[in-house]
Amino acid sequence: EPEVTQTPSHQVTQMGQEVILRCVPISNHLYFYWYRQILGQKVEFLVSFYNNEISEKSEIFDDQFSVERPDGSNFTLKIRSTKLEDSAMYFCASSLTVELFFGSGTQLSVL
Amino acid sequence: QKEVEQNSGPLSVPEGAIASLNCTYSDRGSQSFFWYRQYSGKSPELIMSIYSNGDKEDGRFTAQLNKASQYVSLLIRDSQPSDSATYLCAVNRSGGSNYKLTFGKGTLLTVNP
């Protein structure tokens, strides 16, 4: 069964460093998303991406964040100058239409 | 602020019982409604979707939607210990160029053997 793949599963970084989280969406899907979940809190929308551009972003998704689809398969989230409060589980999701399917997540720990 | 509200629980039921999970949403423009199951430390897994008023059954799961009351529910029949997880309600205001979901905080369900 097709699935969304995320790497790495865990990422530890020092405050102020840049990290890139990688995702391979389901191959025929057209819409791509990043969500995050801080421990004990709700799954929060960060950004959606369609037709090679951002279609919507949340207030969380400020200039510190960027997304890219560098080729036909990968979808990346870059976080510049990480802060302690960026520590969270980051989920990539993709959809053909309304049903979103999530990857297994990247646990980001900023020290 | 578009909100999705759920009782955080924990909801505890004995094995074999019916578990009832509830969700309300504030955006009357919401068109699509979903239930995801999330095991601890894992990603959300889609288990039910519902788009029109009424009931939708899939195996042991029944989703119910009442748009007038802005209410969605999930019934799990013959609950099993493996159903123990957090259940996330999510809604979508379809249209435009994305199908962004807004999630509730989830209800923790514990099924006791």
Q: How far apart are CA B94 and CA A13, in angstroms?
A: 37
Hey, which residues does B22 pair with through a beta bridge? Answer: B73
Hey, which residues does A56 pair with through a beta bridge? Answer: A48
Average pLDDT, chain B: 94
Candidates A51, A91, A98; nearest CB to B97: A51
Candidates A45, A48, A95; nearest CB to B102: A45
Q: What is the pLDDT along chain A (111 residues), one digit of tens a residue?
A: 889 999 999 999 999 999 999 999 999 999 999 999 999 999 999 999 998 999 999 999 999 999 999 887 899 999 999 999 999 999 999 999 999 999 999 999 999
Structure tokens at B24: 């309300």
- Residue for token digits 């199951």? B37
Q: How far apart are CA A62 and CA A76, in angstroms?
A: 16
* Cα separation values, A44 from A48, A101, B12, B58, B80, Å: 12, 15, 26, 27, 29
Kindly determine whether residue A42 and residue B106, on different chains, have CB atoms separated by under 8 Å.
yes
Q: How far apart are CA B43 and CA B39, in angstroms?
A: 7
Name every chain B residue with its beta carbon within 8 A of the beta carbon of A5: none
Name every chain A residue with its beta carbon within 8 A of the beta carbon of B106: 42
Q: What is the pLDDT of residue A94?
A: 96
pLDDT over 90 at B1, yes or no? no
Q: Which of B109, B83, B89, B111 is nearest to B11 (CA)?
A: B109
Kindly determine whether residue B43 and residue A51, on different chains, have CB atoms separated by under 8 Å.
no
Which of A98, A101, A104 to mutate: most B Cβ within 10 Å?
A98
| DSSP character string of B47-77 | EEEE-SSEEEEETTEEEEEETTTTEEEEEES
pLDDT over 80 at B17, yes or no? yes
Neighbours of B56 (CB within 10 A): 15
pLDDT over 70 at B94, yes or no? no
Task: Provide the residue type at A81 as one letter.
Answer: S
Distance of CA B71 to the CA centre of its chain: 10
